[in-house]
Amino acid sequence: MELVTYERDGQVVTLTLNRPEKLNAFSDELVGVLSEALHRFDMDDEADIAILCGTGRAFSTGADVHQRQLRSREEFKRLGGPQGRGTHSSDLLTKAVNWKPVIAAPHGYVLGLSVGIVLECDLIVAEEGTKFQITETSRGLGASKYWGLMHFRGGGAFTMEAALTGRFFTAEEAFRANLINRVAPKGKYLDVARELAAEVVKNPPLSVRSTVRLRRWYMDRFSRELMHMTAPERLYLTEDFQEAARAFAEKRKPAKFKGR
C-alpha cells in the first residue's frame, strides 16, 4: 500500500497521506515518502499546485510516538532529537526547486507534528469541526516552533494560549485567529480546496511561485532561529518527556511531572 498517493487532475495534484490504520501518524518512513511525493510534484511539468490531505478519520495525529518518541537516550543524542536522520518534517516545504504552492486540506484531527506541516503549507482549507492540538506542550517537548508558525501567520494572542495550554482548538477558532484561509462544510473540504486551487492557477505560474518562494524563505528563517535557540535545552532527554511519552504509549495518565 502506498503511504502517500499521487493523483494529478489537470494542473492540480492531490497528495494523500495513506496510513489510516495509524491515523496517518508520521513515522520516519512516512515523512520520507511524503518528501519524495512533494519532490515529484515540484518536478512535474504539468502540475502547478498541490493539495495535501489524509485518508481515514484524521489528517494526521502527528508523530508516531512508538517509533519517534520512545527511542533510546543514546539514539536521541545521536539524532539530536526525536526525528530520524534525513526525515525532518521542517525540510518538506523548504527544499523546493520550483516553489509551487501547496494547499493543506485537513479534516478530523491535526495533532502535534502535523500541525506544523499544515501551518507550513501556503494555504489552508479545513473541514468544519476539525480539531487541532499542539501535543508537544503536554509531552514536555515545548511548543516554540508551533508558537512561531502561528505567530508568523498572524495568530495574535490566541497563539500563546494554544501553545501554553496545549488544548484542542477547532477549525472555526483557527479561522477567527487568522491561522487558516477557509472553513469548509462537512465532507466538502477537498471541493473547497480545489476551488481555491482553481483561483490560484488562473495566474501566471512564475508570478505565483515568486511569492511562494519569498514567503517560505522568511518562514523557514524564523522557524530555524527558534529551533536554534531552543536546541540546547534538549527537552527530549528530560524525565518529564520520557514519562509523558511512556504514559501515552501505555494509555494512562502521566505521573506528576518533576521539572527535570
Angle made by CA atoms 76, 52, 98, in degrees to the nearest 5 = 90
Q: Please, which residues have CB within 8 angstroms of residue 109's CB and are 6 or more apart in sequence?
A: 23, 57, 58, 59, 60, 61, 130, 131, 132, 133
SS3 (DSSP) at 129: coil
DSSP state, residue 106? -
Closest-CA residue to 81 (of 236, 230, 232): 236
| pLDDT-based confidence at residue 29 (cuts at 50, 70, 90) | very high
Q: What is the pLDDT of residues 66-119, one digit of tens each?
A: 777 778 888 888 888 777 787 888 899 999 999 999 999 999 999 999 999 999
Is residue 248 within a helix (H) or strand (E), and if so which, with residue range? helix 239-249
> Is a pLDDT exceeding 80 seen at residue 36?
yes
Domains in the chain and their CATH numbers?
Answer: 4-249 (3.90.226.10)
Q: How far is CA 138 from CA 22, 53, 84, 155, 243, in A?
A: 21, 26, 21, 21, 11
Percent of the chain with pLDDT over 70: 100
Task: Say if CB 88 and CB 74 are below 8 A apart.
Answer: no
Closest-CA residue to 72 (of 242, 253, 247): 242
